[in-house]
């Protein structure tokens, strides 16, 4: 079946369009002047690939599913992932690997100035065919104009119902710290004043932060009619003037507090990156002071609330692994639980071991908030008490860096157990043996524990493989990607 897409002149570089071939939706991309076509419904859970970010991995242009961050090559349809290989010194190194062809691709031809897609579903079955043939995963209509690929896409519970059930698992949230979700070339909604969905930046804590450090930005409602709900650990998408020449861009951050100690409606915790993509630079600038910006969307399922049933099914045993600013949603989950009197006194069991990787203790975001919780709850008994929290640090900095920052580290943070080096399989096994021990001869035992994992891609890839090698089901590993 040959389908006309549009004229070449109308298909701008860096944009994408959706065409329909019967029930099947096909995403067509113009990436760096080359055209690609691929089934729109992701092979994993039917996520809309039209809305995914494009990146280059292993020399291939890849689309990252906006639902679960699965990486798929546009040219071959292969599913890519980061596995772990051990070097000569037995240190884990992330390696890009292929799962084979998972997504059906289609030929794109240019004829007399027009772009066509030749949709061919013949040949052997490809995993994406399952969702390409489901009406529920192909409800979107063809796009008559170019799309910039604003990430997201509605999630229909009919095809995305694993979360919150003991059958769930996998990568559950695409939220990225300060990720870009489309650029607006004009100063639209929220640029010049309050709108129905706007929020106002009312406080920054601390008032100033050096490069590489973090600050918490607190926002409050501008409209008393605002009725949307936000939970710690979810993400908010804010429209801010951080693009070229002040263009409006949508940026996404994790909610670290809701009506927390800083006041306001919600807070986000952000690392100061002056050389970054603009979101951090804008928030830390004088221009953001008392700024009113549009709250475009609230979403995300990387929260204890969404995983309650799964956690309860595993006796409340939770291993949390984080690195860098990826600690934010982990922090949100921990503090929500620890500050709930019912949960800590008489609620269902919740026992958390949290291993965080950072260069030095002084650079650990939110350390001053988490260290007191460790001091308060780390001695509780898994068999007798309803709640416990134990923090462990993995420190990758040099001895000189440790000494240089020692004076800035509060005593409670210095008292947290810490070991040098990157996270290893031995660290993961030690934590799992504490939470959910198995017999020494039960090598393939399925540990009854939930893993919440957040940080850079390479860190998450290695940590997930360690967990799996130690007997954690892949369906019990929940992750969120952070830069």
11 lies in the same domain as 133: yes
Q: Is residue 452 included in any domain, yes or no?
A: yes
Distance, CA of 393 to CA of 380 (rounded, Å): 19
| End position of a domain, from candidates 137, 162, 185 | 137
**Residue 262 belongs to some domain of the structure:** yes
Given 250, 274, 299, which residue is the final one in a domain? 299
What six digits make up the tokens of 379?
Answer: 């001695």
Q: Are residues 13 and 54 in the same domain?
A: yes
* Any domain includes 17: yes
Number of separate domains in the chain? 3
Give the CA-trace dihedral at 345, 347, 353, 354, to 10 degrees.
Answer: -90
Please list the residues that pair with 299 across neighbouring strands. Answer: 235
Does one domain contain both 285 and 411? Answer: no
Ordered per-residue pLDDT tens for the chain, 483 residues: 899 999 999 999 889 999 999 889 999 999 988 999 999 999 988 889 998 888 888 889 999 988 878 899 999 999 998 877 777 777 777 788 888 899 999 999 999 999 999 998 877 889 999 888 887 778 788 877 666 554 444 444 333 333 332 233 443 444 445 554 444 433 333 333 445 589 999 999 887 666 667 899 999 999 888 888 899 999 899 999 987 778 888 888 999 999 877 789 999 999 887 665 568 889 998 889 899 999 998 888 888 888 888 899 899 999 999 999 999 999 999 999 998 888 888 888 999 999 999 999 999 999 999 999 999 999 999 999 999 999 999 999 999 999 988 888 888 899 999 999 999 999 999 999 999 887 555 554 678 899 999 998 889 989 999 999 999 988 889 988 665
- Do residue 410 and residue 468 come from a single domain? yes
Q: Residue 123 corresponds to which tokens in the numbers above? A: 């040949």
One domain for residues 333 and 232? no
102 and 7 in a common domain: yes
In this structure, what CATH number is given to the domain that contains residue 365? 3.40.50.80
CA distance 268 to 217: 5
If asked whether residues 259 and 407 sit together in one domain, one would say: no
> Across-strand partners of 111?
114
- DSSP code at position 47: -
The DSSP output letter for 152 is: -
> Each residue of 190-225: pLDDT tens digit?
333 445 589 999 999 887 666 667 899 999 999 888
Cα of 4 vs its chain's centroid, Å: 36
Residues 55 and 204 in one domain: no
Residue in the block written with tokens 């006309």: 4
| Domain region containing 253 | 198-299
| pTM beyond 0.85 | no
The CATH number of the domain holding residue 274 is 2.40.30.10
Residue 372 CB contacts under 8 Å (≥ 6 apart), including other chains: 412
Q: Is residue 391 part of a domain?
A: yes
* Angstrom distance (rounded) from CA 365 to CA 76: 40
Please check whether residue 102 is in contact with residue 128, taking contact to mean a CB–CB distance below 8 angstroms.
Answer: yes
Examine the domain organization and report whether 254 and 321 are in the same domain.
Answer: no
């Amino acid at each position: 079946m040959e389908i006309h897409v549009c004229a070449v002149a109308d298909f701008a570089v860096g944009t994408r369009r959706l065409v329909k071939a019967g029930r099947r939706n096909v995403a067509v991309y113009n990436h760096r002047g080359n055209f690609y076509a691929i089934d729109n419904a992701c092979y994993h859970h039917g996520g809309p690939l039209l809305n995914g970010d494009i990146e280059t991995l292993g020399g291939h242009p890849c689309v990252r599913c906006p639902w679960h961050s699965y990486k798929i090559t546009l040219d071959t349809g292969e599913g890519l992932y980061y596995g772990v290989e051990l070097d000569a010194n037995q240190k884990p190194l992330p390696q890009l690997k292929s799962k084979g062809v998972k997504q059906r691709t289609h030929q794109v031809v240019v004829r007399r100035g027009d772009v066509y897609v030749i949709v061919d579903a013949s040949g052997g079955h490809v995993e994406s065919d399952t969702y390409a043939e489901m009406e529920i995963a192909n409800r979107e209509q063809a796009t008559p104009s170019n799309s910039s690929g604003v990430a997201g896409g509605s999630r229909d519970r009919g095809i995305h119902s694993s979360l919150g059930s003991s059958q769930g698992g996998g990568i559950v949230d695409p939220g990225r710290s300060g990720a870009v979700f489309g650029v607006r070339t004009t100063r639209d909604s929220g640029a010049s004043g309050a709108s129905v969905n706007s929020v106002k930046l009312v406080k920054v804590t601390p008032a100033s932060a050096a490069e590489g450090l973090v600050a918490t930005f607190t926002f409050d409602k501008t409209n008393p009619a605002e009725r949307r709900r936000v939970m710690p650990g979810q993400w908010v998408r804010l429209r801010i003037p951080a693009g070229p020449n002040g263009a409006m861009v949508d940026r996404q951050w994790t909610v670290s507090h809701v009506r927390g100690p800083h006041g306001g409606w919600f807070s986000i915790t952000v690392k100061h990156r002056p050389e970054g993509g603009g979101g951090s630079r804008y928030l830390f600038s004088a221009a953001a002071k008392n700024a009113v910006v549009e709250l475009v969307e609230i979403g995300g399922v990387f929260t204890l609330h969404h995983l309650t049933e799964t956690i309860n099914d595993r006796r409340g045993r939770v291993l949390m692994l984080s690195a860098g600013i990826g600690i934010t949603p982990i922090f949100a989950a921990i503090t929500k639980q620890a500050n709930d009197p019912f949960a800590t006194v008489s609620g269902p069991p919740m026992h958390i071991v949290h291993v965080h990787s950072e260069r030095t203790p002084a650079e650990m975001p939110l350390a001053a908030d988490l260290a007191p919780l460790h001091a308060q709850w780390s001695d509780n008994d898994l068999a007798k008490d309803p709640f416990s929290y134990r923090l462990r640090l993995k420190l990758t900095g040099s001895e000189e860096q440790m000494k240089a920052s020692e004076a800035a580290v509060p005593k409670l943070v210095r008292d947290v157990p810490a070991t040098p080096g990157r996270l290893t399989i031995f660290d993961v096994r030690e934590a799992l043996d504490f939470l959910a021990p198995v017999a020494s001869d039960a090598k393939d035992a399925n540990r009854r524990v939930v893993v919440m994992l957040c940080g850079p891609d390479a860190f998450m890839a290695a940590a997930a493989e360690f967990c799996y090698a130690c007997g954690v089901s892949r369906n019990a590993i929940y992750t969120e990607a952070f830069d």
